[in-house]
Structure 1
Amino acid sequence: MPAASAASSREILKGLHAVMASRAAAQAKLNKVVKIIAEALSSEVCSIYILRDGMLELYATLGLNQSAVHVTKLSLGEGLVGAIARDASVLNLDEAAGHPDFAYRPETGEELFHSFAGVPIVRRERAIGVLAVQHADPRGYDDLEIEALQTVAMVLSELIANAGLADRATGATDAARDGGPVRCMGLKLVAGMARGHVVFHQPRVLIEHTVAEDTEAERHRVYAAFDKMREQIDNMTSMAEFGTAGEHQEILETYKMFAYDEGWSRRINEAIDSGLTAEAAIERVQQRTRMRMRQIDDPLLKERMHDLDDLANRLLRIVSGQLGTAAQMGIPRDAILIARNLGPAELLEYDRRHLKGVILEEGSLTAHVTIVARAMGVPMLGRCRDIRQLVGEGDYVLLDADESTAFVRPSNTVEEAFDAKLVTTQKRRAEYAAMREKLPVSKDGERITVMVNAGLRDDVAALAVTGADGIGLFRTEFQFLVSATLPRRESQQRLYRSVLDAAGDKPVVFRTVDIGGDKALPYLDTDHDDENPAMGWRALRLALGRDALMKAQARALLEAGAGRELRVMFPMVSEPWEFDAAKALVEGQRKWLADHRKPLPTKIRYGAMLEVPALAETLDVLLPKVDFLSIGTNDLTQFLFAADRANPRLAERYDWLSPAILRFLRRVVTACDAADVPVAVCGEMGGRPLEAMALIGIGLRRLSITPAAVGPIKAMVRSLDISALVPDIRTLLDAPNGDLRGALTRWAEQKAVLIG
């Protein structure tokens, strides 16, 4: 059987165009359609299933028994056809009966056929039917044939929708019109509280015409749309407020790279060659992108695919003349934006004075749009399932991202509780802000060093806002995670220098890049497929194995730190020799700069992160080599308990305030004190007042925490008598009673310690 080509796809579309233009009834049209497709693909069977009353009904066929038409029905997920519609995915099988989803329907007579290929018929992002072909010989259909089927399925969606044959999707407004109060749970992406009225982003354009009359005219429309889109992206990257160094600028550069990608424009042109209109061609390529996204497990690569999806939406709106996103039309004051997902550039188009919050059906903590929202100071909640079906345009919403919750059409009681919390939160923030100039000194006069963790250039502003003592952990990998290619040394140097300049005379500890494992980079092939990424080929292990990457970063850090003191910390050190190797690598770059008479830091302080428990057993070897030690409690805890912190079933099972953790940390602190090596805790544990109190009780005097936690920790320290705490903590750890958290909570309440 000859492979389908762009020319044969064009012939199929011409035949379909003639059928669609005829005055025949819908059934007669579909009967002709299956004949056209079967003949063009030399296929013995062609069938169309349409979603009607929640079931996939065999509506037209050539090759199966005609008596099965309107009789054979499959539910979503039932059989091969049901699986295709449920997942909006493609199946291509040389032996259909061998597939686990295969369901035999004797009335169809399909036992004569072995090969099977099916594609979803998609309308408004949902499958409204399935187009399938079958052949007696057991053979797979080739890629060009599948491509032709998918192109035809786009045209069929128009025919089916215009004839009103398929179930109509229930609109969000229809579903919500008679709804009462709804509470939606999600994932906190950007902290904060907001109230406002629902505005739908609505990036999708409904395509009315799929078959082209004039291929060259459609091609020129796409060229013009590309020019306009690229101009928009260029203007966006030059916006004054986002023109400074920082991760959001890196994101926009990545976005710009996609906009100028010749491969993307070539695929759209190929779709136009097959006979599609400009809009349908863009949508066709976009559908292919979405199908690839469903097969990608890597969250970072999937996020880049979301950026491409965002650009396709933008191009589609331009070419259709439907510039109808809420951003272009203007949003009202106090708007809560609702979307399936957003690209970073789409979010930047909104008026920051009016946009109060964002709720997404998808979204992730590492998404580009999350980083941009954080830079904009917009609260954002992600992974709110079916939010677009639960709310209507203009609905009143209370967004509490801090509690991962949104209240839609709230009751008076809920609104009163929200108002009370908002007042309390604002009052507490005002109190913490007033403490900016106050030092974290305990009631008995001990000074605690409180620093912040950072990863974005804009995070450095937290030093002035909170009065923190410095940056105890700057995560350098963020620049790598948001970049489409390995960041150049010059780009790294600019970021590090801008961070040091912004920090002024306050110290900054740069942690060398912690990538690999669950933070894989699509442009960096590690040749490792870790079943347990957290304990895999990552952090310092990867950096020492890819020393060119680490040499470039070391040079960038040394150049950025010229003329001042530089602090460098290596992540996930397991044994002292790894620290030695990493330090030697940096020193080698310093020697190269010195030999070439380049300016150097006045001093370099080297540190290690204790995250792997094994390192605690060799502290006597390590401590004489380091200038400081930082304990990474997030990874350390999961390694000590053999409990993945990303596993929801284990998240609440193991407590930071357990004797095992605190005894382990006490042993490390004692060893560091004996060696006169400063030791700090970097992690979420240090940012919780009760946990921080316990850490202080076992001897820790340095904490590096999130900026939002600085105020509460300062308040706790200033209400604490450390001399009274230390002996009581010692007693509790020497003879634990099973509820250490409860015991510490009661102690804090009795001593009037502010633990929140």
Structure 2
Amino acid sequence: MPLSAAASAREILTRLHDVMASRDRAQSKLNAVVNIIGEALDSEVCSIYLLREGLLELFATRGLDQEAVHVTKLAPGEGLVGTIAANVETLNLAEAAAHPDFAYRPETGEDRFHSFAGVPIIRRERAVGVLAVQHADPRRYEDVEIEALQTVAMVLSELIANAGLVDSTSDPSTRPQSTATEQVSGFKLVDGMAAGIAVYHQPRIHIEHTVAEDTESERHRVYAAFDKMRDGIERMSSQAEFGVGGEHEEVLETYKMFAYDEGWARRINEAIDSGLTAEAAIERVQQRTRMRMREIDDPLLRDRMHDLEDLSNRLIRIVSGQLGTAAQLGLRQDSILIARNLGPAELLEYDRRRLKGVILEEGSLTAHVTIVARAMGLPMIGRVRDVRRLIAEGDMLLLDAAEESVIIRPNEAMEESFEAKLLLTQERRAKFAKLKSEPPVTRDGHRVTVMVNAGLRDDVAALDVTGADGIGLFRTEFQFLVSATLPQRERQQRLYRDVLDAAGDRPVTFRTVDVGGDKTLPYLDHDADDEEENPAMGWRALRLGLERDALMKAQARALIEAAAGRTLNVMFPMVSEPWEFDEARAIFEQQREWIHSRGRKLPTEIRYGAMLEVPALAETLDMLLPKLQFLSIGTNDLTQFLFAADRAHPKLAMRYDWLSPSILRFLRRVADQARAADVPVAVCGEMGGRPLDAMALIGIGIERLSITPAAVGPVKAMIRSLDRGKVMEAVADMLAAPQRSLREPLKRWAIENGVELA
């Protein structure tokens, strides 16, 4: 076997070029291909399976019994070949029969072969076949052999497509479009409503030629494309229309870092060395990236890799001359953009006057494009399946991110209903905007503190828009999640100072960084054995901060220096026992002493608080409360811990109600203890942002809420229509002899007493 993967692939591609150029029938070409690959890799078996009528059919083989050709068929997901196709993944096994998905087919005569390696043959981002090799000796194939197989599989994709060997019915992109009204659901990424015609972000780029005639010429084409792409990104990022200093700036800096990544450029060069054209080399590296993404459990790292996917799309369009994304062609009317995924730069290229919303087949809350869309005020939903099958270019769409739905080809009645809801939403927004200068005081004169949750620098603007009393929870981890490297202390300090400056006299409570678990950082070292089955209850938040105390020390210094001359409110997340709070507070006090010893200005006061999310902490509140200046209850995590129910599990998400007696009794007990100790207690989380649930919280004695900015208006309206004394009596009676849930009784009580729950 040659030492270089590029040399191995080039040797095979040179011979394949002649086969592809011949006038032989497609079957004869495939027969020749398996012999060429088998000889080059010194493999006793080489087989090609192609997707036909929904099954993977053995089309050509060297080494297996010829009688099995066109007879052996496997469904996607069946056997090793079916697993490769279903998962679009590579398998490399020293002992094939030991794999749990192994399925023996006696007609092939493969029982004498032990080792197995297979790669998917990919077209239009999906597997249309499998290229597999086998050997009698049990051994894993070398990396150079696997890379050669992957490169050859790309060339085979061109060959079988040109020969028409894959059924068009197997490709969802070719299925006929319906004209009926349909509705699809997704996941809310950015709230809002929008109507417009469907526009696909990126037309599919078809690579006409994969095998290079002149390697150096292809390399120069890629170099020129890199220069053009980087110039375009620099120009675009300098012209971004929204303000300076937001997280979107950090996003674009990270994006630019990927564009200048030498490792990415080197991998494309290596693919060209193997004999591929510039377009095919970029696509080859992109396919490898996609396969790596499927193997990564970390959602944040996958989000970072989407930026690389975006850049690959941009580069391949430049090198091929097919520059026509919807942004570059221009939007002609109000449009809803559809894409598998987007990078932040791609979104910034669109005309904001006509782009009304975004639908993604993938997407996540922490993705860079979500941060930019939020800064642009664009409604967006993600994780929408089958969009290419269900939605045709030019279809009318109604996007309601709050309802997490899209109506496709709506009828007239649906459009009228949508417009009425949109108008009502705008009217309600205007109505709530009038309340921004009105205090949240109940009808019997009790003042409730209503604050907002925030995580971005731009979120602080919500204080002026809503008239909230302050920021009850500033999630500091967002800066860590959008950065490619650990944010330096100076950068952290600048963010915290900007937030305090923007808030003015209104209080801000900074929660120390809550990462780990399902919010892992790619630049933090993790042991290979540390994979967690239940990350929400794993190595995260304060647990991580105390073990990696350098991270907490840097954040403590940044917060203390940023709050010089002001009050600093700092809160520790996921405190399970009082000693954890003590250790975290000691770290901050050490940093305060260090700063003081250098003669630098300190905060006028540091107020320390804890988040009650772990039920165990409630049993030691008598020990903890004397040390606290405030307590916050995180209802999102607390609920799932109390019920032992994963809130992300679809079968459990709606099963356990926040207005169940167990939750309300637990919260009432905590509120009573905190009040007796004269420690202010607030509820942070979705529960406090729902008017009915917030009414119940007030009914058990909660006087402080920290909620999303969008919820401030509705919750204020509810408070101003509520008699606190009466609701406390009503809730006490309901909890004394409770039903399964108090939701319906509380709704009836609210209606009878004129409480506004809109």
TM-score by length of 2: 0.97
Alpha-carbon separation, structure 2, partners of 1:56 and 1:561: 64
Return the offset for 1:205.
2.1
The runs of at least 4 consecutive aligned structure 1 residues that moved more than 4 Å come to: 1-4, 169-174
Return the offset for 1:238.
2.5
Counterpart in the other structure of 2:582: 580
Given that 1:441 and 1:448 are in contact with CA atoms closer than 8 Å, whether structure 2 keeps it comes out as: yes
The amino acid that maps onto 1:458 is D
Alpha-carbon separation, structure 2, partners of 1:97 and 1:615: 51
Alignment partner of 2:559 out of 552, 557, 560: 557
Counterpart in the other structure of 1:699: 701
The amino acid that maps onto 1:352 is R
Alpha-carbon separation, structure 1, partners of 2:559 and 2:535: 27
Instruction: Go from structure 1 to structure 2 and tell me whether the alpha carbon gap of 1:357 and 1:524 turns closer, same or farther (over 3 Å shift).
Output: same
Given that 2:242 and 2:376 are in contact with CA atoms closer than 8 Å, whether structure 1 keeps it comes out as: no
Alignment partner of 1:626 out of 617, 628, 633: 628
Instruction: Go from structure 1 to structure 2 and tell me whether the alpha carbon gap of 1:476 and 1:751 turns closer, same or farther (over 3 Å shift).
Output: same
The amino acid that maps onto 1:589 is Q
Kindly indicate whether residue 413 of structure 2 is the aligned counterpart of residue 450 of structure 1.
no
Given that 2:691 and 2:714 are in contact with CA atoms closer than 8 Å, whether structure 1 keeps it comes out as: yes
The amino acid that maps onto 2:94 is D
Alpha-carbon separation, structure 2, partners of 1:412 and 1:323: 36
Instruction: Go from structure 1 to structure 2 and tell me whether the alpha carbon gap of 1:639 and 1:104 turns closer, same or farther (over 3 Å shift).
Output: closer
Pick which of 627-636 and 62-71 moved more: 62-71
Given that 1:198 and 1:337 are in contact with CA atoms closer than 8 Å, whether structure 2 keeps it comes out as: yes
Kindly indicate whether residue 156 of structure 2 is the aligned counterpart of residue 156 of structure 1.
yes
Counterpart in the other structure of 1:85: 85
TM-score by length of 1: 0.97
Counterpart in the other structure of 2:689: 687
Aligned with 1:127: secondary structure?
A: strand
Instruction: Go from structure 1 to structure 2 and tell me whether the alpha carbon gap of 1:109 and 1:622 turns closer, same or farther (over 3 Å shift).
Output: closer
Kindly indicate whether residue 217 of structure 2 is the aligned counterpart of residue 217 of structure 1.
yes
Alpha-carbon separation, structure 1, partners of 2:130 and 2:662: 57
Given that 1:3 and 1:142 are in contact with CA atoms closer than 8 Å, whether structure 2 keeps it comes out as: no
Q: Give the aligned length.
A: 756
Kindly indicate whether residue 548 of structure 2 is the aligned counterpart of residue 546 of structure 1.
yes
Kindly indicate whether residue 599 of structure 2 is the aligned counterpart of residue 597 of structure 1.
yes
The amino acid that maps onto 2:421 is K
Counterpart in the other structure of 1:651: 653
Alpha-carbon separation, structure 2, partners of 1:668 and 1:446: 20
Return the offset for 1:243.
6.0
Counterpart in the other structure of 2:363: 363
Counterpart in the other structure of 1:34: 34
Return the offset for 1:174.
5.5
Aligned with 1:695: secondary structure?
A: helix
The amino acid that maps onto 2:679 is V
Pick which of 135-144 and 450-459 moved more: 135-144
Aligned with 1:453: secondary structure?
A: strand
Alpha-carbon separation, structure 2, partners of 1:81 and 1:344: 37
Alpha-carbon separation, structure 2, partners of 1:192 and 1:63: 59
After TM superposition, list the pairs within 5 Å mapping 1:260-275 onto structure 2: 260-275=260-275
- Across the aligned residues of Structure 1 and Structure 2, the Cα RMSD in angstroms comes to 1.8
Given that 2:177 and 2:390 are in contact with CA atoms closer than 8 Å, whether structure 1 keeps it comes out as: no
The amino acid that maps onto 2:284 is R
The amino acid that maps onto 2:325 is T
Counterpart in the other structure of 1:531: 533
Return the offset for 1:203.
6.0
Given that 2:92 and 2:140 are in contact with CA atoms closer than 8 Å, whether structure 1 keeps it comes out as: yes
Counterpart in the other structure of 1:754: 756
Alpha-carbon separation, structure 2, partners of 1:739 and 1:86: 43
1:301-339: CA deviation from partner (whole Å, max 9, x where unpaired): 111121111111111111111112111111222111111
Counterpart in the other structure of 2:125: 125
Aligned with 1:403: secondary structure?
A: coil
Alpha-carbon separation, structure 2, partners of 1:575 and 1:59: 64
Alpha-carbon separation, structure 1, partners of 2:581 and 2:223: 54
Pick which of 626-635 and 104-113 moved more: 104-113
After TM superposition, list the pairs within 5 Å mapping 1:232-247 onto structure 2: 232-242=232-242, 244-247=244-247
Counterpart in the other structure of 1:195: 195
Instruction: Go from structure 1 to structure 2 and tell me whether the alpha carbon gap of 1:218 and 1:428 turns closer, same or farther (over 3 Å shift).
Output: same
After TM superposition, list the pairs within 5 Å mapping 1:662-673 onto structure 2: 662-673=664-675
Given that 1:340 and 1:388 are in contact with CA atoms closer than 8 Å, whether structure 2 keeps it comes out as: no
Counterpart in the other structure of 2:334: 334
Kindly indicate whether residue 98 of structure 2 is the aligned counterpart of residue 98 of structure 1.
yes
Aligned with 1:241: secondary structure?
A: coil
Given that 1:173 and 1:393 are in contact with CA atoms closer than 8 Å, whether structure 2 keeps it comes out as: no
Aligned with 1:435: secondary structure?
A: helix
Return the offset for 1:723.
2.0
The amino acid that maps onto 1:192 is G
Instruction: Go from structure 1 to structure 2 and tell me whether the alpha carbon gap of 1:225 and 1:727 turns closer, same or farther (over 3 Å shift).
Output: same
Q: Which sections of structure 2, spanning at least 5 residues, go unmatched? A: none
Alpha-carbon separation, structure 1, partners of 2:746 and 2:193: 30
Counterpart in the other structure of 2:640: 638
Alpha-carbon separation, structure 2, partners of 1:85 and 1:530: 28
Instruction: Go from structure 1 to structure 2 and tell me whether the alpha carbon gap of 1:175 and 1:49 turns closer, same or farther (over 3 Å shift).
Output: closer
The amino acid that maps onto 1:748 is A
Return the offset for 1:79.
2.7
1:543-589: CA deviation from partner (whole Å, max 9, x where unpaired): 11111101111111112112222211111122222222212211211
Given that 2:575 and 2:617 are in contact with CA atoms closer than 8 Å, whether structure 1 keeps it comes out as: yes
Counterpart in the other structure of 2:482: 482
Pick which of 190-199 and 33-42 moved more: 33-42
Pick which of 401-410 and 426-435 moved more: 426-435
After TM superposition, list the pairs within 5 Å mapping 1:305-384 onto structure 2: 305-384=305-384
Return the offset for 1:90.
1.4
The amino acid that maps onto 1:473 is L
The amino acid that maps onto 1:179 is T
1:341-387: CA deviation from partner (whole Å, max 9, x where unpaired): 11222112212211111111111222222122111111111111111
Alpha-carbon separation, structure 2, partners of 1:276 and 1:468: 59
Alpha-carbon separation, structure 1, partners of 2:540 and 2:748: 41
Alpha-carbon separation, structure 1, partners of 2:441 and 2:680: 18
Given that 1:449 and 1:469 are in contact with CA atoms closer than 8 Å, whether structure 2 keeps it comes out as: yes
Given that 1:453 and 1:682 are in contact with CA atoms closer than 8 Å, whether structure 2 keeps it comes out as: yes
Alpha-carbon separation, structure 2, partners of 1:574 and 1:102: 46
Alpha-carbon separation, structure 2, partners of 1:5 and 1:298: 29
Kindly indicate whether residue 451 of structure 2 is the aligned counterpart of residue 434 of structure 1.
no
Aligned with 1:60: secondary structure?
A: strand
Counterpart in the other structure of 1:567: 569
1:178-204: CA deviation from partner (whole Å, max 9, x where unpaired): 431111011111111111000001164
Aligned with 2:168: secondary structure?
A: coil
The amino acid that maps onto 1:291 is M
Alpha-carbon separation, structure 2, partners of 1:169 and 1:563: 69
Instruction: Go from structure 1 to structure 2 and tell me whether the alpha carbon gap of 1:157 and 1:578 turns closer, same or farther (over 3 Å shift).
Output: same
Return the offset for 1:70.
2.8
Aligned with 1:657: secondary structure?
A: coil
Pick which of 172-181 and 586-595 moved more: 172-181
The amino acid that maps onto 1:15 is R
1:454-509: CA deviation from partner (whole Å, max 9, x where unpaired): 00111111111111111110000011111111110011111111111111221111
Instruction: Go from structure 1 to structure 2 and tell me whether the alpha carbon gap of 1:203 and 1:261 turns closer, same or farther (over 3 Å shift).
Output: farther
Counterpart in the other structure of 1:501: 501
Return the offset for 1:392.
0.5
The amino acid that maps onto 1:544 is L
Alpha-carbon separation, structure 1, partners of 2:237 and 2:604: 36
Aligned with 1:47: secondary structure?
A: strand
Instruction: Go from structure 1 to structure 2 and tell me whether the alpha carbon gap of 1:489 and 1:64 turns closer, same or farther (over 3 Å shift).
Output: same
Q: Which sections of structure 1, spanning at least 5 residues, go unmatched? A: none
1:668-712: CA deviation from partner (whole Å, max 9, x where unpaired): 222222222211111111111111111111111111000010000
Given that 2:178 and 2:390 are in contact with CA atoms closer than 8 Å, whether structure 1 keeps it comes out as: no
Given that 1:516 and 1:526 are in contact with CA atoms closer than 8 Å, whether structure 2 keeps it comes out as: no
Counterpart in the other structure of 1:459: 459
Given that 1:237 and 1:243 are in contact with CA atoms closer than 8 Å, whether structure 2 keeps it comes out as: no
Q: Percent same amino acid at aligned positions?
A: 74
1:616-661: CA deviation from partner (whole Å, max 9, x where unpaired): 2222222222211111111112222222222222212211112222
Alpha-carbon separation, structure 1, partners of 2:174 and 2:583: 63
Return the offset for 1:738.
3.6
Instruction: Go from structure 1 to structure 2 and tell me whether the alpha carbon gap of 1:106 and 1:382 turns closer, same or farther (over 3 Å shift).
Output: same
Alpha-carbon separation, structure 2, partners of 1:537 and 1:103: 39
Given that 1:610 and 1:616 are in contact with CA atoms closer than 8 Å, whether structure 2 keeps it comes out as: yes
Given that 1:173 and 1:392 are in contact with CA atoms closer than 8 Å, whether structure 2 keeps it comes out as: no
Given that 1:172 and 1:390 are in contact with CA atoms closer than 8 Å, whether structure 2 keeps it comes out as: no
